Amino acid sequence: MEPFLFCTIHQLIEDAMQTSAKSKFPLVVIVGGGFAGLEVARRLEDKPVEVLMLDKHNYHTFQPLLYQVALGSLESESIAFSLRKNFGGQSNFRFRIAELKKINTENNTIDTTIGEIAYDYLVIATGSTTNFFGNKDIEHHAMPMKSIPEALNLRYLIFQHFEEAVLQKTKEDREPYLTFVLVGAGPTGVELAGAIAEFRNFVMEKDYPELQKDHVKIYLADFQARVLSTMSEQASKASQDYLTKLGVELLLNAKVDTYNGDVIHFEGGKSIKTKNVIWSAGVTGEVPHGIKKDLIERGNRIRTDNICRVVGYDNIFAIGDVAAMITDETPKGHPGVAQVAIQMGDNVGKNIIHIVNGEPTEPFKYNDKGSLATIGRNKAVADLGKIKFQGFFAWLIWIFVHLFSLLGTRNKFIVFLNWTANYLSYNGGSRLIIRRFKRGDVKQNAEEVTKGE
């Protein structure tokens, strides 16, 4: 390592270590720059604490629109926003690119990729990753979509396979390249299935006149009996109708057995030849080392009390997808959605200040603002409390909510322009293959994309 580079890294570590020591205020270390971590940091602005955020990327990802990055409808930069820029005016905020390796609860420090950091309060907002349920073959060959690098990998794979399909001489040879199996019929699976179907129905023959729409097969599989099982029966039925009309074949009550990169097998004997399996069948919390194993709940989530504080600790909090607040009302914890993460972050930010000031804390109460999912142009479903509706109006609400939730005025403007162009032309977006995706371990490929983009 060059001497200058070593000194620079060393200085960054020293700055992080000395933040608390130089200040008369306690140091709050937030691990994770997702929805939950952002909200904690916002709530602590102008408060008597110092804030240090750690994340392996220097940007926040708006995950609900990852599927549009995967299809080339949006560029990755339009759903990402600089964490430093977002908190540019917050004087008590600092940021470091780092990964959490271990929590040393006995001496209030954490081991990270940039060294050891002491904390007064620690907020674990590490989120979740794709759950392959221990199936190593599926993990090796199927495509996840939980991050921008993974969405870009998926984009490159999809369009590489369209290019490969053009070169094949028979329909049988083309079939595996043009068959898509999406496993997991939650919002991600439903929205991505609808997007692929619309690409096939309205765009593909413009880009690939050698191919025909009926060459492309799209399957949406789930082990449960209906799509969008966490939403209402009305939303589920409407979504199934929309998907069927778009030409998506639903495989419900279907559990995946194996996938070897060429054929996916389901329990019961059904098999499909495909080189495109996209996995969104579940998530698992990213729990750092140092948390007691008896505190890990189902889904690899950390058990917390009613103020999101890790059970057994006075100054460690867990929020968002990695947290499990088990109560009579929520025996399985809260759902892993953005609103839960945001509200937990807000609650933890307030309670840290209450604790610093010696004031009573406020228990967390989740306010369910409803659920939305889109299946394509003019097609969406909305469950807003007791009000449930589908169609064009639900689609407009989906657009407004997602635009409003994006960070940065520039991002909002770019996404709106892209959506307008796509709506008017059916041919917007960019379907470039910037780097070739090599079939293999998808996690390694995700790391390569991060380096190459």
- CA distances (Å), 34 to each of 115, 322, 337, in order? 22, 12, 12
Please tell me the predicted confidence (pLDDT) of residue 109.
97
The answer to whether residue 191 is catalytic is: yes
Confidence check: pLDDT of 181 > 60: yes
DSSP string of 407-440? Answer: SSHHHHHHHHHHHHHHHHHS--S-----SPPPSS
CATH number of the domain to which 447 belongs: 3.50.50.100
Helix %, strand %, coil % of the chain (to 5) = 40, 25, 35
- Note the pLDDT tens digit of each residue in 117-148: 999 999 999 999 999 998 999 999 999 999 99
Q: Is residue 344 part of a domain?
A: no
Span of 19-33, 207-221, 346-360 with lowest mean pLDDT: 19-33
Please tell me the predicted confidence (pLDDT) of residue 10.
53
**Paired strand residues for 376:** 379
Residues in the chain: 453
- Note the pLDDT tens digit of each residue in 50-88: 999 999 999 999 999 999 999 999 999 999 999 999 999
**Cα 8 from Cα 42, distance rounded (Å):** 29
Q: Are strands 248-252 and 121-124 parallel, antiparallel or unpaired?
A: unpaired
Confidence check: pLDDT of 446 > 50: no
Phi, psi of 294 (to 5 degrees): -75, -5
**Cα 320 from Cα 35, distance rounded (Å):** 8
- Predicted structure pTM score: 0.89
Q: Is residue 92 part of a domain?
A: no
**What's the rounded mean pLDDT across residues 172-188?**
96
Q: How confident is the model at residue 429 (pLDDT cuts 50, 70, 90)?
A: confident
Confidence check: pLDDT of 350 > 80: yes
Q: Is residue 182 part of a domain?
A: yes
Q: Is residue 57 part of a domain?
A: no
Buried b / exposed e over 124-154, threshold 16 CB at 10 Å, is bbbbbbbbbeebeebbbbbbbbbbbbbbbbb
Q: Is residue 345 part of a domain?
A: no
Amino acid letter at 382? A
- Note the pLDDT tens digit of each residue in 204-239: 999 999 999 999 999 999 999 999 999 999 999 999
**Cα 80 from Cα 66, distance rounded (Å):** 10
Percent of the chain predicted with pLDDT > 90: 86
Q: How confident is the model at residue 24 (pLDDT cuts 50, 70, 90)?
A: confident
Indicate the average pLDDT of the chain: 91
Q: Is residue 84 part of a domain?
A: no
Q: Give residue 228's domain range.
A: 136-281+377-452
Q: Is residue 297 part of a domain?
A: no
- Note the pLDDT tens digit of each residue in 364-401: 999 999 999 999 999 999 999 899 999 999 999 999 99
**What's the rounded mean pLDDT across residues 179-199?**
97
Q: Which helix (H) or strand (E) holds 197?
A: helix 187-202
Query: Any idea what DSSP says for residue 209?
Result: T
Please name which of 352, 305, 346, 344 lies closest in space to residue 321, comparing C-alpha atoms.
Answer: 344
Span of 15-19, 39-43, 44-48 with lowest mean pLDDT: 15-19
**Cα 49 from Cα 51, distance rounded (Å):** 6
Please name which of 83, 242, 121, 266 lies closest in space to residue 181, comparing C-alpha atoms.
Answer: 266
Please name which of 306, 334, 331 lies closest in space to residue 320, comparing C-alpha atoms.
Answer: 334
**Cα 130 from Cα 65, distance rounded (Å):** 16
Confidence check: pLDDT of 1 > 70: no
Strand positions, DSSP E, 156-314: 179-183, 217-222, 248-252, 256-259, 263-266, 271-273, 276-279, 283-285, 296-297, 301-303
- Number of structural domains in the chain: 1
Ramachandran category for residue 184: left, alpha or beta (phi over 0 → left; psi -120 to 50 → alpha): left
Q: Is residue 221 part of a domain?
A: yes
Question: Which residues, at least 6 apart from 2, have a Cβ–Cβ distance to it below 8 Å?
Answer: none
Please tell me the predicted confidence (pLDDT) of residue 15.
55
Please name which of 127, 54, 61 lies closest in space to residue 93, comparing C-alpha atoms.
Answer: 54
**Cα 410 from Cα 408, distance rounded (Å):** 5
Confidence check: pLDDT of 20 > 50: no
Question: Which residues, at least 6 apart from 289, have a Cβ–Cβ distance to it below 8 Å?
Answer: 101, 102, 103
Confidence check: pLDDT of 171 > 80: yes
Q: Determine which one of 150, 175, 191, 297 is catalytic.
A: 191
Span of 26-40, 318-332, 424-438 with lowest mean pLDDT: 424-438
Confidence check: pLDDT of 31 > 50: yes
The residue written with tokens 């997702």 in the block is 34
Please tell me the predicted confidence (pLDDT) of residue 426.
80
Buried b / exposed e over 431-450, threshold 16 CB at 10 Å, is eeeeeebeeeebeebbeebe
- Note the pLDDT tens digit of each residue in 88-98: 999 999 999 99
**Cα 300 from Cα 309, distance rounded (Å):** 16
| Count of CB atoms situated within 10 Å of the CB of 198 | 21
